[in-house]
Amino acid sequence: MLPYGRQSIAESDVEAVTEVLRGDWLTTGPAVGAFEAELARWTGGVPCVAVTSGTAALHVAYVAAGVRPGDEVVTSPLTFVATAATAALLGARVVFADVQPDTGNLDPVSAAALVTPRTRVVTAVDYAGHPADYDELRAVADEAGALLMADAAHSIGSAYKGRPVGALADLTTFSFFPTKTVTTAEGGAVAVADSQRFRRAARFMNHGLVRDPAEQRHPGEGGWHQEVHAFGLNYRLPDVLCALGLSQLRRLRRFRARRAELVARYHLMLSDVPGLVLPAQRAYVEPSWHLYPVRVRDGRRREVYERMRAAGIGAQVNYLPAYRHPVFEDLGYRRGLCPLAEAYYAEELSLPLFPGLSDAQQERVAETLAGILS
């Protein structure tokens, strides 16, 4: 089965991990800081905290934003459920706004209609690696007195109007799952510009520990002393995985270039296929394509999905609108809440896209899809 996405591991990655395994630090060591510093080069200098997953990054970011029970978080339903679940776990009410019909990104007009005085965060999702419309969403968040957050799980290395993802929102989260552009096996990160929110994020992901005597309540206990002033969790990403991530980040430009090349080839090969809509790209955006999401018209998406899979091509669907998961149904959310997101989901099909995809494999994908639809 040709997968829709997979990791790209080189000998340099293996050597980087092996070097850490032979050293003194498996976790909380120098590779963590090196990885965070390299990641900050891609966020325009905005400092980053590495964590154990993209989901952990969302949880940490919402905590850093001060999300509490009774707050509201406005976000897109066209995302993996973690974008909403991590806010709900903190007691927030998740408010789903509709999406733009071409990019699948959060629609600023829809979001503006749903913000209230209780809105704490507006969370955009860079669907498929295409940055959302951050200038318009910034205006929506500012008008509501809320923070703007970017779920950039798909879009590391992307730019919006010449500015890098990571520097566009108050908080930005990344994911380094194996199908993503850069992987640490499992892992994520939060980019935070504000120093107080950064400190809150860094403490929460490390049990809430306070180690600086100047900030401790009882600093005279001894050199071993550390305190917890607010509860946190262990979301530390170990040195072994940070070493892999650092090695991967050094090839991010090549990863992005190959993905862009594959997207351009898909555009050429599929432009005349009937009943197929190709992904859109804004002129002012430089995406990092994580997915190649086509739209299959005329109610044929399931047929095409099953026939592609039967042919050994691992097409995928991204995503079931988050509020249609039973956990949100049980909270009172109902189908039809976001008609454009549901229409997008009903037609979406992700084709294989990863740097190791060969031209011949891609041609097989395109020929199989064209054969089914023609």
Q: What are phi and psi of 142, to 5 degrees?
A: -65, -40
Considering the candidates 120, 130, 180, 256, report the single residue annotated as catalytic. Answer: 180
- Which pLDDT belongs to residue 50? 98
- Which pLDDT belongs to residue 282? 98
The tens-digit pLDDT sequence of the chain (374 residues) is: 999 999 999 999 999 999 999 999 999 999 999 999 999 999 999 999 999 999 999 999 999 999 999 999 999 999 999 999 999 999 999 999 999 999 999 999 999 999 999 999 999 999 999 999 999 999 999 999 999 999 999 999 999 999 999 999 999 999 999 999 999 999 999 999 999 999 999 999 999 999 999 999 999 999 999 999 999 999 999 999 999 999 999 999 999 999 999 999 999 999 999 999 999 999 999 999 999 999 999 999 999 999 999 999 999 999 999 999 999 999 999 999 999 999 999 999 999 999 999 999 999 999 999 999 99
- Which pLDDT belongs to residue 155? 98
Those residues with Cβ within 8 angstroms of residue 103's Cβ, 6 or more apart along the chain or in another chain: 127, 128, 130, 132, 279, 280, 282
In this structure, whether the domain defined by 252-373 belongs to CATH 3.90.1150.10 is answered with yes
Does this model's pTM top 0.85? My answer is: yes
Contact by Cβ (8 Å): 144, 167: no
- Site of tokens 């963590």: 32
Domain ranges of the chain: 11-246, 252-373
Burial letters 294-309, b for 16+ CB under 10 A, else e:
bbbeeebbeebbebbe
- Which pLDDT belongs to residue 104? 98
d(CA 208, CA 135): 34
d(CA 264, CA 344): 22
- Which pLDDT belongs to residue 37? 98
- The fold of the 11-246 domain, in CATH, is Aspartate Aminotransferase; domain 2 (3.40.640)
- Which pLDDT belongs to residue 130? 98
Q: Is 161 among the catalytic positions?
A: no
SS3 labels along 191-224:
EECCHHHHHHHHHHCECCEECCHHHCCCHHHCCC
- Which pLDDT belongs to residue 173? 99
- Which pLDDT belongs to residue 144? 97
For residue 249, which amino acid is it?
Answer: L
- Which pLDDT belongs to residue 198? 98
- Which pLDDT belongs to residue 23? 97
DSSP string, 109-164: HHHHTT--TTEEEEEEE-GGG----HHHHHHHHHHHT-EEEEE-TT-TT-EETTEE
